[in-house]
């Protein structure tokens, strides 16, 4: 009878351990997918044709006012590019944290980075719109 109790206890412990490992693995996969989505969004933002549009404007019309406007836009894009580098570092840190099984910390980094990317995306869209709607673009 004691052998059966021991086998049942071992079975329960193994069952609980299996459930824990499975849920941990699923959570890690879920957060890795979120990180992958952040990487895709970062590349979408960085591949917006803002630089190409600024190059066209810089080559097309030459006067001081236009040059100042284009320079301001280039400076704004430079700031966004710097922010994208910080986001890239945060994504790497989230991946590293996830690998070290600090899931709660990784989740926090992912959420912060997601908000940062949403803000950068909104500003880059606004910048692109401003460039396209300017008198220089016509």
Q: What is the pLDDT of residue 1?
A: 67
Q: What is the pLDDT of residue 38?
A: 95
Residue 53 CB coordination number (10 Å) = 20
pTM of this structure:
0.77
Helical (H) or strand (E) element with 133: none
Q: What is the pLDDT of residue 129?
A: 93
Q: What is the pLDDT of residue 28?
A: 72
Q: What is the pLDDT of residue 21?
A: 72
Q: What is the pLDDT of residue 138?
A: 59
Residues of the chain with pLDDT under 70: 1, 23-26, 61-62, 137-138
Q: What is the pLDDT of residue 18?
A: 82
Q: What is the pLDDT of residue 137?
A: 63
Residue 47 CB coordination number (10 Å) = 9
Short-list 117, 101, 114, CA closest to 27: 101
């Amino acid at each position: 009878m004691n052998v059966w109790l021991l086998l049942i206890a071992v079975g329960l412990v193994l069952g609980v351990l299996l459930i824990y490992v499975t849920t941990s693995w699923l959570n890690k996969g879920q957060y890795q997918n979120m990180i992958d989505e952040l990487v895709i969004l970062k590349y979408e933002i960085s591949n917006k044709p803002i630089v190409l549009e600024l190059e066209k404007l810089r080559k097309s019309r030459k006067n001081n006012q236009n040059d100042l406007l284009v320079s301001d836009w280039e400076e704004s894009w430079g700031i966004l590019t710097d922010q994208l580098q910080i986001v890239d570092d945060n994504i790497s840190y989230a991946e590293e944290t996830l690998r070290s099984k600090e899931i709660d910390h990784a989740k926090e980094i992912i959420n912060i980075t997601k908000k940062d990317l949403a803000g950068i995306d909104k500003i880059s869209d606004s910048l692109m719109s401003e460039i396209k709607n300017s008198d220089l673009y016509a």
